[in-house]
Structure 1
Amino acid sequence: MKTNPGRFFEDYRLGETITHAVPRTLSGGERALYHALYPARHALYSSDKFARACGLAAAPLDDLIAFHTVFGKTVPDISLNAVANLGYAEGRWLQPVNAGDTLRSESTVIGLKENSNGKSGVVYVRTKGFNQDDEPVLEYVRWVMVRKGNLDAPAPSAVVPQLASVVVPEALSIPKRLTFSNYDFTLAGEPHRWADYAVGEVIDHVDGVTIEEAEHMMATRLWQNTAKVHFDATVRDDGKRLIYGGHIISLARALSFNGLANAQMIVALNGGAHANPCFAGDTVRAWSEVLEKAETDRPGVGAIRLRLVATRGQAGALKGADGKYLPEVLLDLDYWALMPL
């Protein structure tokens, strides 16, 4: 057989490292299409001049372009036969990705646990993205529910990794030359700085976007994500194409500009859950909660920890009395961003 049916749960081995195909060189084309697919307009990623005033050589590509590219490389080996992508932890952006950089990915299996139904199991992997100089640019842990191909295959010994609930501020990787000492709030779009946000504050980002079928499939193809559930309507019992969770992450992040225009670089992903499935026709809105703040050793640069929620419902609504996510909640993402003091 020359075609690739993808791995099933029983095909993974604890401790194995998988080198993913195919390396990809990124260009300004990815930036332009990203900004077309999402209402992305953070100044640091939009203007070379603005980025140079912040100490960088040029505007880097959006951090989520790097994430989607690295993630997309892993899909044929990790989640081609996935039921669902369940969560993230211990994510760190280690250095900016610029136009012209070539990214590749590697994943190590760090946990396995078969589900009680015997039809699927959860695979935990730590993925790292590298540039053309073999320098790490991104790392994260994710866990995904994968179908079994052979229902009679024996269950592996259950290993569930112990993962940190948050990346501590001291572990944040901040670009060496980054400074917000000459930050232009007018050009950035909002006057609100790090000191203006209070822990516990909830920000309704106001705007909404109704997702179109062709749009989300184009976005998923852009990242070379080949998971069947995003394209083939016959894979799911309900006959619907499941929208790639990363599409919702980028959409919510872009919507968060209204109220968090100065939350510039994403530097860590503490945790995340795709709480409920999203389909074409859904109208997505977003809200954020300020979870924590920390100072850094860089001039004018503060770190702000945010909970970003994508929802079909109202701002501030997250879980019911039973502790479970409300059915209208699509995404619950916990991340660190850099913001001018």
Structure 2
Amino acid sequence: MTTKSNPGNFLEDFRQGQIIAHATPKTITEGDVALNIALTGSRYALFSADSFAQNCGLPGAPVDPLLVFHTVFGKTVPDISLNAVANLGYAEGRFLAPVFAGDTLNAVSEVLGVKQNSNGKTGVVTVRTTGFNQDEIPVLSYVRWVMVNKRDASAEVIDAPPKTPASSVPTPDLVLPQGIDFSGYDFALAGSPHAFQDYEIGEKIDHVDGMTVEEAEHQLATRLYQNTAKVHFDALAQKESRFGKRLIYGGVTISIARALAFNGLANAQLMIAINGGRHVNPLFAGDTLYAWSEVLAKEDLGEIGALRLRLVAVKNKPATDFPFKNDAGEYDPNVVLDFDYWAAIPKR
């Protein structure tokens, strides 16, 4: 049988410096925004109400930065991670311009490095992806590294390890949306009285609420992002995998954990950078997600403050019932996400 289909890239297909323009631009519609809220339960006022966003100096409610991230990420999957074993982490993520319903997103990636694993069957590919809007204005840039299968175990791989990503996005590189103004911020409508001054470095916040992730919800969410990774969709193929069933896309985990974080961080609603993130254990349909956050740092950006937050998501037990790492620094098996980001927050 002849075929014109694309099997995706394998480890030996990548080269350091390679530029990949990804297919299928995506116009973000109001329907996409509403569906994303329905699938995650997010309640942040800035992304829910035009009137609230306009009171904050914006023309209307912007698209949740995580929906932007997942949409851009989805563009890259057919070229970068269709044959992945696992997505290993993120770094150096910067949200460069707000996105609004009606904007069209596309993505371009640069391969920063390739390194074959000692087993000779897999390796790690590191890429920097940039998302653009219809005016070719960059709206997002991030680095991720992913473990990818080889097509042929005997194929030569040109090892070219990338430089180590920065541990965090420095304060001068944090970008606030043009025109944003929290001087008239409505704390009551936002759902919390807590401002920048009310948070202390080292403080931990239990977000209390839990959410059980159903099969239909994570399938719809991943399709919304046009993520085509086999591990999330092909149940028959996953019977032969080490888990024996489909994995929930890590972006779904991030968005639900972030939605849970509303309870305690309702005013830290505008994510402006991703310092790093790891999916440390898998999440499956039927698992219940809980979350807690730790304030890692605070920065005064003038009229607005920024919190550096560590968001930890835990499955099937309350988030504060146990230490999330043991004495050897290993994650508890119930921890599924360790995510480090900057969020803008109003000052009082």
TM > 0.5 between the two? yes
Q: Which residue of 2 aligns with 1:161?
A: 163
Aligned length: 339
Bigger drift between 234-243 and 111-120 goes to 234-243
Check conservation: 1:109, 1:123, Cα contact below 8 A: yes
The separation in 1 between residues aligned to 2:131 and 2:323, in whole angstroms, is: 34
Distance, in Å, in 2 between the alignment partners of 1:239 and 1:327 is: 17
Look up the match of 1:83. 85
The amino acid that maps onto 1:58 is G
- Deviation, structure 1 residue 214: 1.4
Q: C-alpha deviations, 1:197-220, integer Å up to 9, x for none?
A: 000000000000111111111110
Among 45, 65, 68, the residue aligned to 1:66: 68
Is 1:57 paired with 2:62? no
User: Per-residue displacement from partner, 1:59-92 (whole Å, max 9, x unpaired)?
Assistant: 1011111001100000000000100000000000
**Matched position secondary structure for 2:226:** coil
Aligned pairs for 1:1-341 (under 5 A) are: 1-233=3-235, 234-235=237-238, 236-297=241-302, 299=303, 301-312=304-315, 313=317, 314-315=319-320, 317-341=323-347
Q: Give the 3-state SS of the residue equivalent to 2:208 in structure 1.
A: strand
Offset at residue 146 of structure 1 (A): 0.4
**TM superposition shift of 1:175:** 1.3
Percent of paired sites with the same residue: 61
Residue 22 of structure 1: SS of its match in structure 2? Answer: coil
> Structure 1 residue 176: deviation in Å?
2.0
CA deviation digits over 1:71-114, x for unaligned, max 9? 00000000001000000000000011000100000000001111
Residues in 2 aligned to 1:317 and 1:179: alpha-carbon distance in whole angstroms: 39
Residues in 2 aligned to 1:76 and 1:141: alpha-carbon distance in whole angstroms: 17
- Give the deviation of 1:158 after TM superposition: 3.8
Relative to 1, partners in 2 of residues 1:171 and 1:238: Cα closer, same or farther, differing over 3 Å?
Answer: closer
Q: How far has the Cα of 1:174 moved from its partner?
A: 0.7
Deviation string 1:282-330 (CA, Å, 9 cap, x unpaired) is 1110100000000113x3x111100001112432732111111111100
CA distance in 1, matches of 2:214, 2:23: 29
Over aligned residues, Cα RMSD in angstroms? 1.0
- Unaligned residue ranges in structure 2 (runs of 5+): none
- Unaligned ranges ≥5, structure 1: none
2-structure distance, mates of 1:44, 1:243: 27
Retained in 2: the 8 A contact 1:114–1:158? Answer: no
TM-score by length of 2: 0.96
Q: What letter is aligned with 1:140?
A: Y
TM-score, normalized by length of structure 1?
0.98
Aligned to 2:59, the other structure's residue is in SS state coil
How far off its partner does 1:238 sit?
3.2
SS in 1 for 2:126: strand
Is the 2:11–2:157 contact (alpha carbons within 8 Å) kept by the matching residues of 1? no
Q: Secondary structure at the match of 1:206?
A: coil
Q: Is the 8 A contact 2:91 2:274 kept in 1?
A: yes
In the alignment, the residues of structure 2 paired with residue 57 and residue 334 of structure 1 have an alpha-carbon distance, to the nearest angstrom, of: 29
Check whether the contact 2:17–2:111 (CA below 8 A) recurs between aligned residues: yes
User: In 1, distance between residues paired with 2:130 and 2:70?
Assistant: 12
Residues 16, 160 of structure 2: 8 Å contact kept: no
